[in-house]
């Protein structure tokens, strides 16, 4: 039995209860346009993409999960803890209860939100979502020690992935350097011509 299974057995012997997101979080949009971004802004501006822009002013100062309202539904998630601005077609999910860790919900949504939204859709894709759809998403209410342990495990894997990506990028640069050095023959000199 692993650590998570032990914690669940200890803290949830009767199973896990679920609640709709609207029961535990404030959900809303921002009011900033993407064209308000500045190259050297002080605060992150979350728009409807994986790319985070920067801006000189902020709208919110909180811990939140950010998802797009259009495009990339169920594929783009941001976690923020601090000051930020938000596009008018992106949603913020700010957990207001102390019984749930925002980071836990962030990971839970990454794993389950797309499937939930696709079940609500008429076709195989979802081009946009509205607040009532997000509010109906159900989340498990499990004890904080279990949430924290899950978050710790996933954070460790994120760190390892970042380290591996950095190592891979360094190896690509090294490979390209040696490729150019070793294969950069002067064709004129090799052919015997001056």
List per-residue pLDDT tens for the chain, 194 residues long: 566 667 777 777 777 789 999 999 999 999 998 888 888 899 999 998 899 999 999 999 999 999 998 888 889 999 999 999 999 999 999 999 999 999 999 999 999 999 998 887 656 566 788 899 999 999 999 889 889 999 999 999 888 888 888 898 999 999 888 888 887 766 555 555 55
Q: Can you tell me the distance from the alpha carbon of 73 to that of 162, in angstroms, rounded to the nearest whole number? A: 24
- In the chain, the domains with their CATH numbers are 1-16+142-184 (no CATH), 19-139 (3.90.220.20)
- Calpha distance 156→175 (Å, rounded): 28
Residues 6+ apart with CB under 8 A from 178: none
Q: Among all chains, which residue has been given the structure tokens 């900033």?
A: 32
What pLDDT sits at residue 36?
A: 87
pLDDT number for residue 10: 75
pLDDT for 95 equals: 96
The predicted structure's pLDDT at residue 192: 54
Report the alpha-carbon distance of residue 89 to residue 43 in Å, rounded.
18
Per the structure block, which two tokens stand in for 142? 């499990």
Q: For residue 49, what is the DSSP state?
A: S
Rounded Cα distance, 182 and 173, in Å: 14
**What is the rounded radius of gyration, in angstroms, for the C-alpha atoms of the chain?**
23
């Amino acid at each position: 039995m692993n650590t998570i299974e032990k914690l669940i057995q200890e803290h949830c012997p009767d199973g896990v209860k679920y609640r709709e997101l609207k029961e535990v979080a404030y959900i809303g949009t921002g009011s900033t346009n993407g064209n308000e971004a500045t190259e050297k802004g002080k605060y992150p501006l979350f728009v409807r993409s994986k790319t985070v822009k920067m801006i000189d002013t902020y709208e919110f100062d909180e811990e939140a999960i950010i998802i797009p309202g259009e495009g990339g539904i169920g594929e783009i998630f941001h976690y923020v803890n601090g000051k930020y601005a938000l596009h008018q077609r992106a949603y913020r999910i700010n957990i207001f209860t102390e019984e749930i860790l925002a980071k836990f919900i962030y990971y839970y949504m990454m794993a389950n939100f797309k499937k939930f939204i696709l079940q609500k859709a008429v076709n195989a894709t979802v081009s946009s979502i509205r607040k009532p759809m997000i509010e109906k998403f159900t989340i498990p209410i499990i004890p904080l020690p279990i949430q924290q342990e899950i978050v710790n495990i996933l954070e460790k894997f994120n760190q390892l992935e970042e380290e591996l990506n950095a190592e891979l990028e360094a190896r690509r640069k090294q490979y390209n350097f040696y490729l150019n050095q070793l294969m950069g023959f002067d064709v004129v000199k090799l052919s015997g011509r001056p």
